Amino acid sequence: MNRMFFTLLALLAFSLASRADEPIRKAKSPGVRELADEARRVFRTRVVNPKWVQSMQRHGYKGAFEMAATVDYLFGYDATAHVVEDWMYTQLTDQYVLDPQVQQFFQEKNPWALRNIIERLMEAVQRGLWEQPDEAQLAQMRQVYLQLEGELEDRMDTTQPSSG
C-alpha cells in the first residue's frame, strides 16, 4: 500500500477541514462532498454492490486481487482520515469473507487475496479502527483464516520439489 498517498490524503483532509468555515462557491462547479459521505457512497455503490462483486468474479484471479486492493484502500482511508464506520467493516466481512459463494470464488481463483482481506480486517480490529466488532463474526473469520492457511500450506507442500 502506498503510504505516501494516504499521508497526502490525510493532509488534504486536514487542510479542507481547517477551512470548513470558508465557503467555496463557484457557479456551475460540481458539488463538494465530505470525505466520510463519499466513503459511504463508494462503499455502497461499489465495494458491497452485488453487481460490482459479480463483475470482479468474472475476472477471476485479477478480480479477486482487485477486491483485496479495494479493502486495502478502504483500510488506508480509515487509518488516515477515520472515515470507515463499524457497520462498513461488518458488512464487508459478511460479504467478502463469510458469504459461501464469494468465499468459494476466492478459494478457487485467488485464495491469497482472501487471506490478505482477512489480515487487513484483523489489523483494523487490532488498531481500533473497527471499534466494536461482533465477537461471533470475528470467530467465524478466524476459522475461515485457519482453514485457508491450511489449504495454502498444502498447496505449497505439493508444489515444492521434494528434496531427497
> First vs last Cα of the chain: how many Å apart?
40
* pTM: predicted TM-score of the whole model, two decimal places: 0.78
Tens digit of pLDDT per residue, the chain (164 long)? 566 566 656 656 656 655 555 555 554 556 678 888 988 999 999 999 999 999 999 999 999 999 999 999 999 999 999 999 999 999 999 999 999 999 999 999 999 999 999 999 999 999 999 999 999 999 999 999 999 999 888 887 776 666 55
Closest CA to 37 of 1, 69, 77, 71: 77
**Residues recorded for the chain:** 164
What's at 12, amino acid-wise?
Answer: L
Q: Are 68 and 96 in contact (CB under 8 A)?
A: no
Q: Round to whole Å and give the CA distance between 146 and 135.
A: 16
